[in-house]
Amino acid sequence: MGQHNNTPRGVISHARLAWLALPLVVALGATNALGASLQELRQAGSIRVAVANEVPYGYLDDNGQAQGVGPEVARHVLAELGLDNIEWMSTSFGDLIPGLEEGRFDMAAAEMAIRPERCERVLFSTPNTSYGEGLLVKATNPLDIRSYQAFAERDDIKVAVLQGATQLDILRELGVPDTRLTSVTANDAAIEALLSGRADAYAGTGLTVSQLGEQSPDVEVAEGFEDPKVDGEIVRSWGGFAFPNDAETLRDAFNEALTDYRHTQAWEDILTHHGFTQDDVLNAFRFDTEWLCGRQE
C-alpha cells in the first residue's frame, strides 16, 4: 500500500507537494505471525520498556508515569498487541542498547536515531519520528557559535554532547577533534556544563535544545543555527523503537500495529503536541528502516 494513500488527514494538504520533492522509500513489510516472544510477554502479563528521560522523546514525570512521544505511541501500539501492563524503566541514553543486549529491557521507547552501527546491535521498528539538529549556548551567545562546523574550524571552543548520542558521530564526521568534545550523561547536565565552563555549547536535536533553553535564563538556543551537512546532505535523524536482536517476532508484530497507527490523526496529534512540526511529520514517512540501517555514512 502506498504511503501517500494513507497520509494522516492533518497533512493531506501538504503531502502531495512534499512527496514529489522527497525520495520516498516503501515502508518495511510486517509479518502477520505472532511469535514466541510476544506470546511469552502476554503470558507474563507485562513488558519492560526503557526511556532515557529526554523531553520530549521519552521520560518519567514526577509521578513516575511515562510521558513523551515514544511512550504515548507505544501505549497505543502495545495495547493493540494485548500488552496493557507496561513496566517503565528509566536509564541513561548510553545504557539503552546495552540494556537491550543484556535482557534488562524488552524494548526502548526513546526515539533513538536509526543508524547502521546501532542496527548491528538491536532491532528497530519502522521510523516513528524525524528531527533535525540544534545548538544550546550561553545567553547572548558571547562566542558567536552558530554551527557544528565551528568546532572543527575554531580551536578556542568546546562542545558538549550526550554520551552515546548521534551528535558525537556527526561532529566527528565534520572533523571536530576529540580534544574539543566533552560528554554529559544526561541532557539536564548540559546547562551546568555550559555555566561551569566545561563546554561553550551543547549539541543536540532541535527539540531537545529548545526544551533546555526554556529551563534557564542563562542559556539560549543559538539563533541563525546552520544545519550541519555531511557529504553535501543536511543531517536529519529518524527515531524508532528498539528491541533485542532475538525479538524479531515482537518487533514485526509491533511494526504492523505501528504502521497502521501512523496513518491516523491521533498519531500526528501526539507528535505535534510535543513540538514536532508538519515538516517533521512528513519526513517521518521519507525512509524505511531497511534503508536507514543500510545507508553509507
Question: Which residue has better confidence, 180 or 16?
Answer: 180
Can you tell me the distance from the alpha carbon of 254 to that of 250, in angstroms, rounded to the nearest whole number?
A: 6
pLDDT of residue 22: 38
The H or E element spanning position 259 is helix 248-261
pLDDT of residue 37: 74
Mean pLDDT calculated for residue range 86-115: 96
Question: Do residues 110 and 57 lie in contact, with contact meaning Cβ atoms separated by under 8 Å?
Answer: yes
Q: State the angle between helix axes of 248-261 and 36-44 in degrees (0 to 180), rounded to the nearest 10.
A: 80
Cell numbers that stand for 233 in this block: 546532505
Q: Which of 129, 136, 130, 113 is nearest to 225 (CA)?
A: 136
Q: How confident is the model at residue 152 (pLDDT cuts 50, 70, 90)?
A: very high
C-alpha angle 28/31/33, rounded to 5°? 160
Q: How confident is the model at residue 252 (pLDDT cuts 50, 70, 90)?
A: very high
pLDDT of residue 15: 37
**Residue 142: cis peptide before it, omega within 30 degrees of 0:** no
pLDDT of residue 27: 37
- CA 39 to centroid of chain Cα atoms: 28
Q: Please determine, for residue 196, whether its predicted confidence score (pLDDT) is greater than 50.
A: yes
DSSP 147: B
pLDDT in tens, 52-79: 999 999 999 999 999 999 999 999 999 9
Q: How confident is the model at residue 296 (pLDDT cuts 50, 70, 90)?
A: low
Q: Please determine, for residue 136, whether its predicted confidence score (pLDDT) is greater than 90.
A: yes
